[in-house]
Amino acid sequence: MRAVRFASFGEPADVLTIENIPAPQTGPGQVLVRVQVRPINPSDLFVIRGLYGILPRLPAVPGFEGAGVIVGVGEGVTDRTIGQTVIPMGAAGLWQEYVVVPAARTIPVPATIGDRQAATALINPATAWLMLTDTLRVEPGEWVLQNAANSIVGRHVIRLAQRLGFRTINVVRRREVMDDLRTLGADDIICEQDENVVARVHALTGGKGVRYALDSVGGASGARLAASLAMGGTMLVYGAIAGEPLTIHLGTLLFRSATIRGWWLSHWLQTATPEQAQDLFTTLFGLIADGTLHTPVAAEYDLGDVREAVIAAEHKTRPGKVLLVG
């Protein structure tokens, strides 16, 4: 089978290769999945560069997310069938044609969900949903402040806010994306290159600040979100796009009793029971089916064209996910 591999950490377009390796074989309780669609996520590229929280032993196959069809079942598997479309949950190494995973760690995909939306249902939709409803438990009517609002997670946050009855303040770097986010349902948008984020947030909230903030950037952008927190407010840091340290004024923590904490989907996946995972995806599939959540696709590349695909995935202005297919 074809597999994307890297033998050293470095720039993805430089270190990734296509190799032919033996297909894995199922053991008891496992299924063999023919992976058909795989999005390229920032976390995949961080791993290849050696900058992620968990790094594989080299040589390795990247890829945390995807969807495919079961083509083989191991001894003792009775609740999964050949031909069933599934999401391998919590698996790694999906940038290859076949993977073996425990049957209990696969999520069956309903017929109402296409394989492209299924392949992108794990990381971004689950991140947005779990941060808002499981960790922060945002109440209707409250403001949520977020940066990187034009990202896929940011767009999901805006759509979920409409569905759940809270409001969003959306920080972006480029003015040209603001009209699109307004159409999507953003309540307020701040271009951080043109405006004082903290002053604008305080004007919108009557000087109180926000109870909830989501930071996926770090650096100066994340610091501005932290400075916008209300008394007892909480900011989740779930990304590090800027690659810069997050510097917090001590007064934010001391005098406002604010909480700033990291949030990583991998931790939830590692501790979730199969029942919890199935409940999560039942919810997400419903939100995808009714149009609340939708992941746009910018381009598709064959697995063999992975070097071109990773270059395309890093274009800052791409209008959606880049997918590896085949």
In the chain, CATH 3.40.50.720 covers 124-265
At 67-82, the pLDDT tens digits run: 999 999 999 999 999 9
pLDDT given at position 318: 83
Task: DSSP letter for 103, please.
Answer: G
202 class by beta-carbon count within 10 Å (0-12 exposed, 13-18 middle, 19+ buried): middle
Q: Does the pLDDT of residue 90 top 80, yes or no?
A: no
Q: How confident is the model at residue 38 (pLDDT cuts 50, 70, 90)?
A: very high
- Find the mean pLDDT for residues 294-317: 94
Record: fold of 124-265 = Rossmann fold (3.40.50)
3-class DSSP state for residue 39?
Answer: strand
pLDDT given at position 249: 86
Q: How confident is the model at residue 40 (pLDDT cuts 50, 70, 90)?
A: very high
Told to judge if 238 belongs to the known catalytic residues of this protein, a careful annotator would answer: no
Strand partners, 237: 215, 262
Q: Does the pLDDT of residue 260 top 90, yes or no?
A: yes
Q: List strand residue ranges (DSSP E) for the chain, in order.
A: 2-6, 16-20, 30-39, 67-73, 85-88, 98-102, 106-108, 143-146, 167-172, 188-191, 210-215, 229-237, 259-262, 297-302, 321-325
Identify the active-site residue in 52, 98, 212, 238: 52
Q: How confident is the model at residue 54 (pLDDT cuts 50, 70, 90)?
A: confident
Tokens of 107: 């999520």
- Find the mean pLDDT for residues 307-326: 92
**CB atoms < 10 A from the CB of 245, how many?**
12
At 209-239, the pLDDT tens digits run: 999 999 999 999 999 999 999 999 999 999 9
User: Which CATH code is given to the segment(s) 2-121+295-325?
Assistant: 3.90.180.10
Task: DSSP letter for 139, please.
Answer: P
Q: How far is CA 152 from CA 149, 158, 225, in A?
A: 8, 10, 19
Query: Tokens 């430089």 identify what position?
Result: 14
Q: How far is CA 40 from CA 20, 123, 199, 214, 240, in A?
A: 21, 11, 36, 22, 17
Q: Does the pLDDT of residue 242 top 90, yes or no?
A: no
At 128-179, the pLDDT tens digits run: 999 999 999 999 999 999 999 999 999 999 999 999 999 999 999 999 999 9
pLDDT given at position 225: 97
Q: Does the pLDDT of residue 254 top 90, yes or no?
A: no
In the chain, CATH 3.90.180.10 covers 2-121+295-325
Tokens of 251: 């007064």
Whether 46 contacts 120, CB under 8 Å: no
